[in-house]
Every structure is written in structure tokens, then in C-alpha cells.
Chains A and B, each alone.
Chain A
Amino acid sequence: MTSYFRQSRWQRKKELIEPTIFELSKGRKRGYYRFSIEEEMLKAVGGVQKLIPEELRRDELNLPNLSEPEVVRHFSRLAEMNYGIDSGPYWLGSCTMKYNPKINEKIAGSSKVRRLHPYQPEETVQGALKIMYELGEMLGKITGLRHWTFQTSAGAHGEYLGCSIIRAYHLDRGEKQRDEMLIPLSAHGSNFASAAMAGFKVVRIPINENGCTDLAALRAAIGDRTAGMMITNPNTLGIFEEEVQEIAELIHGAGGLLYYDGANLNALLGKVLLSAMGVDLAHLNLHKTFSTPHGTGGPGAGAVLVRDGLEDFLPIPVLRERDGRYYFDYKVPKTVGRVKAFYGNFEVLVKAWAYLKTLGTDGLREVSEIAVLNANYALAKLRGLKWVSVEYGGDRPRKHEFVISLKDARSKIDAPALHIAKRLLDYGLHPPTIYFPPVVEEAFMMEPTETDSKEDIDRYVEVMRRILEEELEENPELILNAPHNSSIDRLDEVRAAREPILSWKIYERYYKREKA
């Protein structure tokens, strides 16, 4: 079986693809990036040396010394050895890897966005504040939660803030004993960590055969220590929690608040309001649903939205408008404080604003409808393949993502999800999220998003078919040794953890010497 895809491989030697920037700059001096000081000023201050206290002068600095073209070539070669959304399909479940519109980058790259200091007088940043305000209002309409902040930089940061608000809410009501956060087993790992950081004990809630929250178990877990529940809907299995209203009633009845993890909102734009589901507060990942890029891990932006009655707990400052003038309000009576300096990842907010302006009212639904159509179409085609099984939820429609299990392929190879994911790389496809959610064995969590075409999906499925039905039968070694066509072959992650070489300095100090 042939795969024709080849990723760039700037291999120099048998054992090296690209030298580090430190190795490249060994040896001699080169032209460098210099800043010039006016002679007159130098004279006026009496030279540089005496401007630094003797005790604190730096003697050594081991940074590279390279000319500009050398640096640019190095990082350009590195870029070529990296796979982005513009390279091809990227079905990472729960990550919503959709296309990042170029006009958004163009607008956000303007000096009118970038060359703004957060401490400028408000009258000089009215355009920036207007964009933030309009984005907040649009997201308020989309969710039905009318109060918002953009101070959080990521989804997990939003979860942390949400949990902090829940904590402040109960303390304000004199209910100090409410220290338990309920989280379904299928939730994102960050939910558990965020709740713990905000000072809660985590209570895990099992899921039923439909993949949804087990109501009986939830009833049993609820009590007067319940602070709230964190829910993801559709959940990480891509299944809509039909009983979300009952869940909300149970939580509210017990005096708790319902938090919504917005990672999976791409399924519901213009379809369902979070407020209608009984959600009290939520975070949205602007870098997922609202098309802003992930930048190899960030920056993102997490909007946190709350219902009426919780606005007094938002972090300071809160952006407000009066008579067409925008201003920050620092007098928020019960504020949780600040969770980050300044006002949020403004550049990212500009991109999300531009995206929503492009979508408009009609575009909202189209996004979710086609995202859901694409996911169900891909699932329908994958279901029929050998070794593929689907746990939970039977044949009910999935939303924007779905999970298949490859556990039956264990009869052929160990850890099939891992190896088959690596083999997908050989075809130029970014694999899905693997081994998540943990309730599914050998899980492939797949999310094509609305920006992949039918042809992209058909090809993805065809590649899966080839791997599962031909390669796995005829040549499992091919899969076990994959990838073959990427910049580098299979990396030893165990060794990386056992001998952590976390910087060039560590390599030079401890490792290289040992080797010699």
C-alpha cells in the first residue's frame, strides 16, 4: 500500500534533522542586530558602565550570534516541518480545528490594534473598547447570558474563573460548606483541575449507556455541600445531554449553580441558548467555535458569561457603555478580583469579532448545521468499517463530533488507536484526539468541523478503510513502525520522560558529557 504524502524533512545528517539555534551559531562572529546610541547622549550620561551597579553586572550570556538570514532560514525550515490547518484535515475532537479566516488576521495585525497600550486614556481607545463591547453583546445573544468578561486567556482559565465565581457566590450567601463540584466522567480533564485550583473537592458523576449524565447517580451525589456542576453539552462523546433541564433543576434545587464548558459550542450556534438549558455561567473558547487560530498551543481567549444576578462577581474591570462612550468600571461590588493583568487577549478578540460580523445571524446556524452534518456523515461511513465499533448512544445523531472505538483491532496489534493514529500521518492527515474520553477504550474522538469538504471527509474515511481493512491484515508492521513520511520517524516518549532534556543547557551540561 502506498502513501504518497511527504512532509518536509530538512535532514542534515543521519542523526539530525535541524540543528538547534545554538549549534548553528557556533564559532565565528557574524553581522548582528544592533541598536545605535547617539553619541551626544552617551556623553551626557557619562558612558554605559556606570549605569549598572557593579554587583549586578552580567558577565556571561550564552545566546546565539547569527545574522538575520540565518535566523529566518532556520525558523522557516522549522515551519515547513509543522502541520497546520492550512495544510490539511485536522480532526482533533473537542478542539474544533476550523479554518482561520485570513481577513481576521489582517485586521488584527493592524497597528491600530497592536500599538495600543492598556494604560492609555480611555478616550484614545474607544475603537478597541467598541470591538470588545460588540463582541460581548453578540456572545451574550448567542448564549442568552448577558454579562461577560474577556479577562481569561483560555478555556481552562475560564473554567477557573467560573469556579471562582461559584465559590464567591456561595460565600456571599453564607454557605461556606458548599465545597463540592460535580463533574461527569466524560468531561475534559481541565474541568477537574480547574475546580481543584479554585478550592473545590471533585465529585465524579458516572454516565449512562447513552453516554449522558446518569441522573440517578447525580441525585445520589447532590447534597448541601454541592456548589455546582460543570457540564459539557454536547458532551465529549458528541451526544446532546437530553436531560439537561432536569440536571439544571436538580442542581438549582440543591442550591448549586450550573457551569457550561463551551468547548463544544460549535454544535449549537443559533440552535439552543445556554440560558434555556438552565446554565448559570459558561466559558466560550474563541479559539475553537469562533475561528481564531491556536498558534501551536495558544494564544486563545476565553470569554466568561454569566446570567443576571451573577454580574456582581465578575472580575474587575467590567466594560460598560453609556451614551455611545465605552469605559471600564472598577466598582464591581462582589468581584472575585482579577485573574489576569489587563483586559484579555485583545488581538484574539478582534479576530472573533470579525468572524461573527462575517457570519451574521444566518451564518450562525449554517456553521453548526454543516459541522453536525459533516460529523454524522463521517460517522455513518466509518461505522461500516472493519474493527470500528461505536460505544454509547446507539444510533442517535451525534453533534459536531463523535467517538469510535478501535478496541476490536487489539486482536491484531496492541494499542491500535496509537499506532493507527501514527499511520494516518503518512497520508498527510492529522489524527483525531486519541484515548479520550477515557470512558471509551482505544478511542478516536473525531471532529471534522464545517470547514472540511465532503471530498476531505471521503478521503479521510478511505484512508481509514485502507489502514484498517488492508494494511492491518496484510502488513501490520507498516502500522507499528509508522510514521514513515513525516519529518521524523516514531519518537521515543518514554526516554524523553526518563531522561528529561528540557533545555539546551541541560543537554550540554548533563547529557552531552555523559555521552562522551
Chain B
Amino acid sequence: MRYIPNTDKELICTMLKEIGVKSIDDLFSDIPEKLRLKEPPDIGIPLDEAELYRIAKEVLSKNVTTEEFLSFLGGGIWDHYVPAAVDEIAAKQEFYTAYTPYQPEISQGALQAIFEYQSLIAELTGMEVVSASHYDWSTALAEAALMSMRINRRSKHLISAAISPERFEVLKTYLSPLGVTIVPLNYERETGFLDLDDLEKKIDDETCMVYVENPNFFGVIDENVVKLADVVHKKGAIFVIGVNTISLGALKPPGEYGADIVVGDGQQLGIYPSFGGPLLGIIATRFDRRFVRQMPGRLVGMTWSKRGVRGYVITLQTREQHIRRERATSNITTNESLMAIRAAVYLSLLGKDGIKSLCEKMLVNTAYLMSRLGSIEGLEVPIFNSKHFQEFLVKSRAKKWSEIQQSLLRKGIFAGIDLNKRFPGFFSELGEVALLATTEIHTKADLDRLVREIEEVMR
């Protein structure tokens, strides 16, 4: 096998002699006879590299990509452009083949890159402390809920109904053994904003945390979020905000409207959709002892060496599983570090002006597509009377969206997510609606093409 250097029989004999055994089998002699397999399980003949490449290509050719089809899919993962420089840096062996930087003196590159990731996300979200990464947005949300419970020892969670059903389900799984209640918060039917009256009604002294997304799952920029902090804090609850990370290039950061914890996915920041993973879970919080001590996951901090040189180490490890065991703030070990490095490169590359110009392009694309679709007879766009970022809902009065979707698929277009079909049991109050997303990769011609094709189908 070409990945194994020690295959020479004579060499193996020398090594066995040094060990003091006669054969490799002797090294397995402690395994009870009846457990030992006579033959290894059949997983097929070994392929040489050229064969493997050919077969992989053949299998993968059955996939249709968002490079080949025009895609308006979103709902938690978006098909943004990934700058070539991001791929280049992430492909450096010093980054991608390294382990967790447990030996800081020989791992300054990874540690500084992760520190910079933490710092860049802190700027973007308006928070101060950011963990080194979590699996994805959904698990980051679950961990934020557990963190909130450790902070105020309460057990009622108020969760906006305008979030991704997958995130909601993950949260439910993580909270299920703990005997807590999850109460959904309504959104206003007119605007899609969080319903403030509903919040006032449901929040009480048992409330652990209030979770709202901005923009929400429907792409609505929620103008009520700026009014929430006082209501939430007055009851001693923790205010958690979920963000579309890229939107923060243009939108006020949650740190400026009183959020205690911010969660989200860094997938938009230089990470491919890759059929759903790997992603980049973000947890950010305030530089407040009460919060930092309960933070889950790894943290990189700045320090100095014996000779006074500035450097970086993994710090506050007494929160972590390898030291604290069952009293740890989380079980997380392997995280999504390389994705965090991708995000750091991406944000550095775009910088302040770049991300602003990206946001502007996305805002324009969103508004343009909404207004064009809104002018099609039989389509209802917008559903909510509010500003949108990246995503919006479409309702078809004349024809079922699933039929429109099918026709468009034949023309090489992924026409969004049919919410009722994808998430049965959620959003039934909205009737039959679809969620459409756009990114900066769409040109005017792309958007016009979608509009034209829908018009044709509707006719």
C-alpha cells in the first residue's frame, strides 16, 4: 500500500526481532481467538490512484451543481463566490494537515489565524469574545441555550417561530433531556417582525433566554430587534440573536442592540455549500466573566513568551472536557478550525469596504428580484411588508409552486425551497410558500432569466 513505508519483509523481521516476537500475528495474540476474524471483511479490491480518480469522476458526474444550474436555494446555506485566495491558503499543508494546536510554540500560525478569526467575528457581530468554532449554526444555537441555562439556572426558552426548522429541531434534541420548555414566539403577519406583544405576554421570571434571528428565516430585516434588549433583560433573561453573517456588512451588529450571545454560520465567509458540510458555527458573547466562564468550546488568547515576544495559546481550558470532564461547559473537541481560517482569510481579503460593497450588491439583487417577481400576475411578492436581505417568500396563486419548480428544474434552474414540502408541519400559517435566495454571484441576466422562465410557466 502506497501510504505505508514499512512493507519490506526483511525490515519487518528486524522490527519484530527488536520487539521480541516472531510474527505480526503475535502482536495480536492478546485478542481472544474467537474474536479474531479469519478473513477481513470484503470492501472490494484496492484501486490505484488513476482508477480511483476515474471512478470518483464517474460517480460525481451524476451530481448537478449550482455551477451548472442557476440556483436560488438558501435557507441556511448559500452559494456565494469563494475567492481563489481563500482556497489557496486553506490548501496549505501546514494548516490543513495539522492537529489542534496543543503545542503552541510550534503552532503559532494556526493560533494566530484562529485569534484573528475570533477578532474579525467580534468586530462583525459587535461582540468581544468568540469561540474558535462550532460544528454549525444549529449546534451553536443549542450550545448557546445550554450556556444560558448555566448562567441563570432557568429553564424556559422563548424561540422565534421565524427560524429554520432544522435549527429548531436540533435545539429541541439538545434540550430534551433537561426537562425544559420551548415556547415559540409569533411574528407579525403584516411585517414578519417579532411580535412584541406576544413576547411581553410570554416572558416571565422563569425565562432563560429569548432567541430571535435577524434577518429571520424569511429574509425579513426585523426592525423590532432593537426594541428587545430592555424587555428581555428586565426579566433577567438572556438575549440571543442569530445572524446572517454577511448581512452585518450593512446591518447594525447585535452587540449594538443589546445581544448577550450571537450565533450564526460562517459558511457565507469563504466556505462552499458542499452538500451541507463542513460549516462554521459561530458563538460570540460579551467580555463579561459570567458569560466567558460558561462559554463552550475552545478559545485562543494572546500572551507573551518568556523572552517577551507576543504569541498565542489555547486558553481558559479549565472549561473544557479534557480537564473538566462531565463538568465541562461542552463536550466539543474537534471543531471546524480550518473553516474558521477560511473565514479569517475571507474577511481580511474583503475588508471593510469589500464586505460593504458585497452587502450592497446583495441588497440590490434582493430588491430587484423581489420587485420583478412581484410584477408577475398570480405571484405574491413580498409576503411581508418589510425590507429583505438575501431571501424572501413567494406565494403563487395561479399554480402550485411545486409545479413551477419542476418546470424550472427542467430548464436548469433550482427555484428555491418549497417550505411546506421541505418542512411539513412548520409554517402552515403561511399557506403554500417558497423561499428564494440570491447571492452576489447572480447577474442581472440571471435574475431576469428566472423571472422570464416563471412568467412562461405561469402563462
Contacts and interface: CB of A to CB of B under 8 A. Distances in A.
Contact of A339 (B5, B83, B170, B320): B170
Contacts, number: 710
Given A112-B60, A277-B35, A340-B170, 15 more contacts: A32-B351, A57-B251, A61-B248, A80-B109, A125-B64, A287-B334, A299-B277, A357-B47, A359-B46, A370-B7, A487-B105, A490-B306, A502-B129, A505-B123, A505-B128
Interface residues of A, number: 210
B456 interface: no
B362 to A, nearest CB: 9
B106 A79 contact: no
Can you list the 10 inter-chain pairs with the closest CB atoms, starting with the nearest? Answer: A199-B177, A342-B276, A295-B338, A360-B46, A82-B109, A270-B40, A297-B337, A299-B278, A453-B5, A154-B334
Contacts of A194: 331
Contacts of A189: 320-325, 328
Contacts of A82: 94-95, 98, 101, 106-110
B335 A297 contact: yes
Contacts of A389: none
Interface stretch (B69-77, B198-206, B231-239): B69-77
A51 B367 CA distance: 8
Interface stretch (B9-17, B151-159, B181-189, B377-385): B9-17
Contact of A296 (B64, B110, B309, B409): B110
A505 to B, nearest CB: 5
A138 B106 CA distance: 37
A400 to B, nearest CB: 10
A373 interface: yes
B272 A114 contact: yes
B31 A240 contact: yes
A193 B93 contact: no
A81 B122 contact: no
A505 B122 contact: yes
Interface in B332-371: 332-339, 341, 344-345, 347-358, 360-361, 363-368, 371
Contact of B15 (A293, A300, A363, A454): A454
Contacts of B221: 52-53, 56
A334 interface: no
A63 B249 CA distance: 10
Given A160-B331, A360-B47, A372-B28, A343 B105 contact: no
A188 B325 CA distance: 9
14 contacts: A21-B344, A45-B368, A65-B352, A85-B93, A107-B52, A111-B67, A242-B30, A276-B35, A296-B341, A301-B277, A397-B26, A454-B15, A487-B106, A503-B115
B397 to A, nearest CB: 24
A100 B96 contact: yes
A388 B40 CA distance: 36
A516 interface: no
B348 A76 contact: no
A116 B414 CA distance: 11
B350 to A, nearest CB: 5
A14 B308 contact: yes
Given A95-B99, A369-B24, A380 B351 contact: no
B96 A295 contact: yes
Interface string A486-503: 111111110111001111
A16 interface: yes
Interface string A95-117: 10111110101110111111111
B398 interface: no
B100 interface: yes
A7 B299 CA distance: 25
B275 A45 contact: no
A101 B49 CA distance: 10
Given A82-B95, A113-B274, A114-B272, A55 B45 contact: no
